[in-house]
A and B are shown apart, each in its own frame.
Chain A
Amino acid sequence: MNLRQALKDYISTELLDDAGQIDDDENLLADGMVDSLGMLRLVGFIEETYGIKVPPEDFVIENFRSIVVLDAYLARASAGPAGGA
């Protein structure tokens, strides 16, 4: 299963209680969608499942507001560390 589908499945089943399939460009941060604790769980899921560390400065709207941007961010993040050992 690809990453995008895995994220969608996790968000809709674990964070939104099967409220229906979410669209790739749907705003995950709108009222009634994923709440602040849910976002923390999502980061935990990404870090545990894919071994990608999300530093605080990357945990921002630009990278997390929809499946599309999150997928793109994770592709960049896993392509190689921007710096450090």
Chain B
Amino acid sequence: MTGLLHQQVDAVASRAPGLPAVQYLDSVLDYGALARETNRLANVLVAEGVSHGDRVGIYMDKSIHTAVALYGIMKAGAAYVPLDPAAPVERIAGLIRDCAIRCLVTSPGRRRVLRSLFERETGVDCLIGVTSEAGLPARCLSWQEVADRGADSAPQVEVRPSDLAYIIYTSGSTGTPKGIMHSHASGLAFARWAVAEYGFTQEDRLSNHAPLHFDLSIMDYFGAAVAGAAIVIVPEEYTKLPASYSKLVEDQRITVLYTVPFALIQMLLRGSLEQRDMSALRWAIFGGEPFPPAHLRALMERLPHVRFDNLYGPAEVNGCVHHTVGRIDDDEAPIPIGKVADCADILIIDDHDAPVAAGEIGELLVCTPTMMQGYWQRDDLNALAFYTSTGAGKDVYYRTGDLVAQRDDGLLRFVGRMDRQVKVRGYRIELDEIETALTAIDVVEEAATYTVPDDEGSQIIHAQVTLRPGADATSAQVIKRLKKKLSWYAIPAKLTVEDSFPRTQTGKIDRRLLRTQALDAAGRGSAERAHSA
């Protein structure tokens, strides 16, 4: 029986225990060691009262223990929930309460924030990865203690493929993050698809650039395990400095990159690639947002031996559509998102759920074994997220909210969103969530947000607010308070305090006009209009 995510590690460990499984700078765990370490953690978690179906948080700085944490939690029969180490403590506390996490796997670098977390009512009473000397009001077990106490063989916990394996939280338009639930079956279906499609083998060294709470990490971790390949974790510091990142890719002989266009563009512009030996690299896979073709063409010319692939898929379905990029002749033509995975089926529908005519724009619906179970305890959202086909199979499709059209050559092209979800450096953000958070600040009367293109191939968020009568606040003060509520990537790059907003005829804030004014002020308005014409 190998239908579970953690069984992939154990399968490699039993046939080839000496293969490298995880690398973090100079630390390496081979598959035998990873299987043993994860068994020990699982036993400790079970002894601490974690049982089948529970949720365990991973709130840690990236390290060699990250891999131990996620497989160890699943071996205990629980689901892992990655929490952004850079998120404000209030948000972390909210997620912990939302899915009733009692136990966190953490790291010494989190101590300061953990102290502040324990000033709030969260229900957390067990911390793995820190010593009791930290003085935190919970049972604390260091990794040394986990190694000393946990038995080397796996605990007897029955886990089924349909069981919850992980929850990844994403921005919610009402202001509350929503938890995307994946089972072992859906995570594994995606990993197996990726291994077959990209031809990963045990010779490969997959980079893990994305943090764990970003769904790109799913392919890195589980693709590597299915293939028996190594995962090379990119330390947080290296993700911030492009020449250090490219040096790591060279030194660690990384063969597969999977990241957002922003990181690859930074590597092109500031990565000193002319000084690097990137000969080991064979795949550069990107997703999260569109890659500006001119930058992609330049990068492909710089790395002619590497294949570049655009992998599309909301976290709700993992990757389901992809396109290996050929020659780019037109720097203005967006890169298509490509063709549908063999395991998936799609519909492109209009406002009345009827299929659009060939080539017309419609919403993309996806039916795939890589699809989520639903949103954690959100029946309201689940009622709207899925579409059941009227055919004999009554197949269930996920409504992506993405507008697409099929080109004459059969490839799909991404057109835009049906709602106000935006992508900033690959991160998904609901503009409505930011506005809700802004208007919840006591001095703020109304708020409007919109995006404008930056010069790095992505978007930045602008915000404007009006203040309540008699209130007084600077934009810096408003931003500072917003940072206590939202993740760093959702914080507007620019926020201004206004006396009033322009209105549409129906009295709504005219966000379209605000955006046009911002584009004009940046001298980009006419260029954008010409481009979209």
Contacts and interface: CB of A to CB of B under 8 A. Distances in A.
Given A57-B272, A59-B270, A32 B243 contact: no
B237 A36 contact: no
A37 B476 CA distance: 18
B237 A61 contact: yes
A30 B241 contact: no
A59 B241 contact: yes
A59 B109 contact: no
Given A17-B480, A18-B480, A36-B266, A31 B241 contact: no
Contacts of A58: 243
Contacts of B272: 56-57
Contacts of A27: 237
Contacts of B244: 60-62
A58 B266 CA distance: 14
B242 interface: yes
Given A17-B480, A36-B266, A56 B271 contact: yes
B479 A17 contact: yes
B182 to A, nearest CB: 24
Nearest to B110: A31
Given A17-B483, A35-B488, A56-B270, A29 B85 contact: no
B275 interface: yes
Interface string B479-513: 11001000011000100000000000000000000
B86 A32 contact: yes
Interface residues of A, number: 21
B254 to A, nearest CB: 17
Interface string A28-43: 0111101111010000
B86 A61 contact: no
Interface in B217-249: 236-244, 247
Contacts of B271: 56
B422 to A, nearest CB: 16
Contact of A59 (B236, B237, B242, B488): B242
A57 B243 contact: yes
B61 interface: yes
Contacts of B488: 32, 35
B243 A56 contact: yes
B61 A29 contact: no
Nearest to B273: A56
A65 interface: yes
Of B241, B270, B272, B476, most buried by chain A (CB within 10 Å of CB) is B241
Given A31-B86, A39-B241, A59-B243, A17 B109 contact: no
Contacts of A57: 243, 272, 275
B85 A31 contact: yes
Interface string A7-31: 0000000000110000000010111
Contacts of B493: 37
Interface of B: 61, 85-86, 109, 113, 236-244, 247, 262, 266, 269-272, 275, 425, 476, 479-480, 483, 488-489, 493
24 contacts: A17-B476, A17-B479, A18-B480, A27-B237, A29-B241, A30-B109, A30-B236, A30-B237, A31-B61, A31-B85, A32-B85, A32-B86, A32-B488, A34-B240, A35-B86, A35-B488, A36-B239, A36-B241, A36-B262, A39-B241, A58-B243, A59-B241, A60-B247, A61-B241
Interface of A: 17-18, 27, 29-32, 34-37, 39, 56-62, 64-65
Q: Which 10 A-B pairs have the closest CB atoms?
A: A31-B85, A29-B237, A32-B86, A56-B270, A57-B272, A36-B240, A61-B244, A60-B244, A31-B86, A56-B272
